[in-house]
Amino acid sequence: MKKRVRFVLTMFLVTFTLAMTGCAQKAKTAETPVQPAAQKSVTLTISAAASLTEAMGEIKTLYKKEKPNVTINYNFGSSGILQQQIEQGANADLFFSAATKQMTELEKKGLLIDSTKVNLLGNTVVLITKSDSTLGIKDFKDLKNSNIKKIALGEPKTVPVGQYSEEILTSLKILDKVKTKAVYGKDVKEVLSWVESGDAEVGVVYGTDAKTSKKVKVVAVAGKGLYKKPVVYPVAVIKASKNIDDTKAFLKYLSSDKAKEVFVKYGFSFLVK
């Protein structure tokens, strides 16, 4: 009888111990937080007009704080050259142009996700000289003066600011005279650098580019009536992108209040309400 009682007690203790161990394991499991799955690393290639260099550089830093898994790579250049690269199949997720012409050409060829196109920014066209210049240039009309030897302009076939420059000079009826002194840059940053270095006495750039340099001064701002269309910067997602959702998210960020603060700081007007 005693052996039987001892056996029953032993079995009870074993069962109780196993039950308590199971409860403890369940409790430990419940207390351990579920770790979220790691976000997939994504690299986006953004083809953007050279005049956006400084602003987009700052936005890249801000976006990395919000989306640490997303790496932004920029391809800066003239909008016309970037358009050609995209047409030829170059890797690009987003196109940010300094004029509507290049964006429209890509749209016509079915290379954009049409619903993503946004006219995001505005800019001005200005005439600049070196900060210490004593030429006395005060207006675009003064470009016909004989004391100016070199005038820096963007290449009109591929550089939007070069196209605006020709329209302005045509409106003032001085294009032919200016052409004899003109040197043509591959993008607006090259035009700016020539004036900064003194390789050209004057140049035509965007107001935002002039604002980034302490080596030049703005001597005239072109009135809107001097060129056909306002200076508008459209942006859109490339249809061939392999990261469409992530690119759309970045595009949305470019329209945000945080991005607006950056663009306005660099002198752009923000067109999105």
Is the predicted pLDDT of residue 2 greater than 70, yes or no?
no
| Structure token pair of residue 73 | 């790579």
User: Which CATH superfamily hosts domain 125-226?
Assistant: Periplasmic binding protein-like II (3.40.190.10)
Give the residue carrying structure tokens 């302490």: 214
pLDDT tens figures, 6-23: 544 445 444 444 455 554
Task: Report CA Rg, the chain.
Answer: 30
How far is it, in rounded angstroms, from Cα 222 to Cα 167? 11
Sorted by where each begins, the domain ranges of the chain are 42-122+232-270, 125-226
Same fold: 42-122+232-270 with 125-226: yes
Which of 261, 240, 251, 265 is closest to 119 using CA atoms? 251
| pLDDT for 38 | 58
Q: Above pLDDT 90, what percent of the chain?
A: 82
112-117 contact pairs (CB < 8 A, 24+): 112/236, 112/237, 112/238, 112/239, 113/236, 113/237, 113/238, 113/239, 113/244, 114/236, 116/236, 116/237, 116/248, 116/251, 117/234, 117/235, 117/236
Choose the weakest-confidence range: 31-45, 71-85, 186-200: 31-45
Residue 130 near residue 215 (C-beta atoms within 8 A): yes
pLDDT tens figures, 139-175: 999 999 888 999 999 999 999 999 999 999 999 999 9
pLDDT tens figures, 99-122: 999 999 999 999 999 899 999 999
pLDDT tens figures, 202-250: 999 999 999 999 999 999 999 989 999 999 999 999 999 999 999 999 9
Q: Are strands 151-154 and 202-206 parallel, antiparallel or unpaired?
A: parallel
| pLDDT for 146 | 81
Say which CATH topology domain 42-122+232-270 has. D-Maltodextrin-Binding Protein; domain 2 (3.40.190)
Is the predicted pLDDT of residue 34 greater than 80, yes or no?
no
Residue 195 near residue 132 (C-beta atoms within 8 A): no
Is the predicted pLDDT of residue 75 greater than 70, yes or no?
yes
Q: Are strands 151-154 and 182-185 parallel, antiparallel or unpaired?
A: parallel
Q: What φ, ψ does residue 176 adopt, rounded to 5°? A: -60, -40
Where do the H-state alpha helices sit in 43-187? 53-66, 79-87, 100-108, 160-171, 175-179
Question: What average pLDDT does the chain have?
Answer: 90
Q: Above pLDDT 70, what percent of the chain?
A: 86
How far is it, in rounded angstroms, from Cα 149 to Cα 85? 34
Chain-centroid distance of CA 154 in Å reads 20
